[in-house]
A = this chain, B = another copy of it.
């Protein structure tokens, strides 16, 4: 690692100008314009400077620093010393031009402020860093337009994308995937690799739980129309509820945020359902908060279930019952697959992540207080 394009003073110490290696003083590169103006940053040294100091050709420097072993050991040693003396560090932009590779990967999140992505992010981070890539994160602010603009700007700079809960239309995703490797998370699209949770197990247990509590009807508080997971969750809920003889009432979609959940409280209560499953925890939390503010008892008058098991779900009162997905593992898997794609290695499809229902205080029998 210290020998590739990340080369430089290993401990980050500045420009050690210690003893000169034998062979005369380093010739300073001629720069037009005489002495630099005060305050100007000193120009970084290049492989030409290192080559001159080590008494070899620039190509030898490139080889020595990038393919250790492919060059005479003594020469390599001399080159490394020269590089260290000059505080040389590879210019990755200059390297990217001929190679077409930057070793940077982008993780684009539909909403960077949704805590559901914390584990995902750490998972992608861990794996990609371990594989020698730098990860940058970008935010789509829950907007397809912003997301498209973002990936377009980034496409020239990064080797590939992990798109989490992309709000892009299928055609856009395909277009991007035609330009750079793409791995999806929380979205399935034929022909594009993806990591998706299987809502089934978690939803089934949630429905069983609500059913055994005596609820014969469940509301579904929908999320954004552009959300794949919204469709999956709605369908899965309908499926398992029907199988158990429980009715499902869909409640119009809203912003997938705490505010969106708050704003939906009136509609949810208006439906008169004894239980509601929200598109995600953010909405569920907003709904619970709004109920509390209106003096509506949760779970006495309304049981609430969310999705994701995000930060804060277990800290509220009542704590939120929710369907959790192991997105930490999912992120690692997505990172691994993306790197494989970038490096041109084939990778078999992966099994969907298993979800599970976590029962907490926000669900209970009807009619308590």
Contacts and interface: CB of A to CB of B under 8 A. Distances in A.
Contacts of A157: 92-93, 102, 104, 157
A213 interface: no
B315 A153 contact: no
A153 B6 contact: yes
A131 to B, nearest CB: 14
Copies in the complex: 2
B113 A102 contact: no
A70 interface: no
A154 B134 contact: yes
Interface stretch (A136-144, A202-210, A300-308): A136-144
A345 interface: no
A212 to B, nearest CB: 26
A12 interface: yes
Contact of A311 (B14, B102, B312, B317): B312
Nearest to A136: B136
Interface stretch (A172-180, A223-231, A333-341, A351-359): A172-180
A137 B134 contact: no
A72 interface: no
A121 B115 contact: no
Interface string A70-112: 0000000000000000000101111011000010101000001
A8 interface: yes
Contacts of A317: 316-317
A89 B157 CA distance: 13
Nearest to A103: B153
Nearest to A286: B315
A261 B303 CA distance: 30
Nearest to A285: B315
A288 B317 CA distance: 12
B316 A172 contact: no
A188 to B, nearest CB: 22
Contact of A118 (B97, B113, B179, B289): B113
A152 interface: yes
A41 interface: yes
Nearest to A109: B137
A156 interface: yes
A309 interface: no
Interface string A232-255: 000000000000000000000000
A139 B139 contact: no
A332 to B, nearest CB: 15
A294 to B, nearest CB: 15
B311 A93 contact: no
Interface of A: 6, 8, 12, 14, 41, 89, 91-94, 96-97, 102, 104, 106, 112-113, 115, 118, 121-122, 125, 134-139, 141, 148, 150, 152-154, 156-157, 172, 175, 178-179, 258, 285, 288-289, 311-312, 314-317
Given A115-B115, A122-B141, A135-B138, 13 more contacts: A6-B152, A12-B152, A12-B175, A14-B178, A41-B178, A93-B93, A106-B136, A113-B311, A121-B139, A136-B137, A258-B311, A312-B312, A316-B317
Interface pairs A-B: 4 shortest CB-CB: A317-B317, A312-B312, A136-B136, A113-B118
